[in-house]
Amino acid sequence: MELEAHVHDTIRDIPESEWNALDGVSEAPFLTWTWFDALERTGCVGEAAGWLPHHITLRAEGALLAAAPAYLKDNSEGEFVFDHGWASASHQIGAPYYPKLVVAVPFTPATTPRLLVRRPEDRPALLPVLAETLRKLVARSRISSAHVLFPTEDEAAALSDAAMAHRCGVQFQFENEGYQTFDDFLARFNAKRRHQIRREMRESTRQGLSIDTLRGAEITPEIVDAMFGFYVSTVEKFAWGRQYLNRAFFEEIAARLRGGGAQGGVEIVLAREGKRPIAGALNLAGPTTLYGRYWGASEERPFLHFNVCYYHPVEDCIARGLRRFEPGAGGSHKLVRGFAPSVTHSAHHIAHPRLDAAVREFLARERAAVRAKTADRSVAFR
């Protein structure tokens, strides 16, 4: 069967029904056609943002077999797989690093399939096709490189077998070990750590705060407005903060991906003093995994961040029987709260031979360090 690869400069070139029927899309709201469409319609991706849609489809006799969200980029912002050092080295040897091609979900460092396929059994055979397609696009467009960010471990291994360089990183995630209650989870800790967590959780009650997860129709325009304000407050708090998303995007996804119940979708954990919202976290729920995305607060309160972003979602995951909670990138402080070190993956094709050799040598050392760091997951409960 002859495969044809196509590149699309907008998700709207690909029928929504075709995209959403692909295996992998149902794992998370941010893989749906609606999510990518909302990013484009609200200007969060596009030329001004430095994320030009370059979505890849593989077809045979007109039928869609696979697709991958992809973007042509003139920067490394919003990726969370940091390659600024590679860009610097590339420029030093006289080879411009930008633009480059990334297969990724913008601003979302979460592990899910990156090659969406019509039939799951076809994914192993189609991943080498994706790798070869990326190499051809790099050569044809005369760009520096192509990068597949946050694929599954199996995808990363297959892309590595197809001659792409394999990178590993670390996140801290909650794995549901069959807990029936939050107390079952706490029982994993030593007595000192259990006491600390319970004390931090009691602080919200002592301050008269309520913390609830809002879904579906509970996410009103007023709640969306408050959540966007919290998001902006976090961006403005840090010198390295970047406001990748705008109010229109928050409104779009809240209206179009509100989900609820077993459907999953957009969820907002809201902390209120009386009726007044003071903090919130926007999360995305799939059928087995909760993904923490954006957090903020209008005022500082002791342990408020931990309760809104960690303890309440973990309780909720246990109650719903979800297998995993990915609270986002960074944050070794999560370790003492029961989030175990987990390996993340990416795959890279770099056209310049000298830069490729240097990167591969670096990645070999980095992978060994990551594996050593994540070998003992029980460290999260000591």
**pLDDT of amino acid 260:** 63
Mean model confidence pLDDT for the chain: 95
pLDDT band at 209 (very low <50, low <70, confident <90, very high): very high
Sorting pLDDT into bands at 50, 70 and 90, what band is 262?
low
Confidence of residue 263 (pLDDT cuts 50, 70, 90): low
Residue 106: predicted pLDDT:
98
Burial category of 275 from C-beta neighbours within 10 Å (exposed 0-12, middle 13-18, buried 19 and up):
exposed
How large is the average pLDDT for residues 324-346? Answer: 91
Say which amino acid occupies 24. G
- Res 72 pLDDT > 90: yes
| Segment 2-20, tens digit of pLDDT | 899 999 999 999 999 999 9
> Which pLDDT tens digit goes with each residue over 285-332?
999 999 999 999 999 999 999 999 999 999 999 999 999 999 988 777
Mean pLDDT confidence for 225-253: 93
Confidence (pLDDT) at 157: 98
Under the banding of pLDDT at 50, 70 and 90, the label for residue 241 is confident
The C-alpha angle 75, 90, 364, rounded to 5 degrees, equals: 100
For residue 377, pLDDT beyond 90:
no
DSSP class per residue in 253-315 = HHHHS---GGG-EEEEEEEEETTEEEEEEEEEE-SSEEEEEEEEESS--TTHHHIIIIIHHHH
Of 341, 327, 339, residue with least CA distance to 376: 341
* Separation of alpha carbons 258 and 262, rounded Å: 12
Question: Considering only CA atoms, which of 223, 217, 290 is closest in space to residue 251?
Answer: 223
Residue 264: pLDDT band with limits 50, 70, 90: confident
pLDDT at 347 over 70: yes
Report percent pLDDT > 70 for the chain: 99
Polymer length in residues for the chain: 382
**Cα–Cα distance between 319 and 337 in angstroms, integer?**
18
Amino acid at 5: A
Strand order in the sheet with 51-53: 51-53, 70-73, 100-103, 145-149, 340-350, 165-175, 324-326, 289-297, 276-285, 265-273, 209-214
Please tell me the predicted confidence (pLDDT) of residue 351: 98
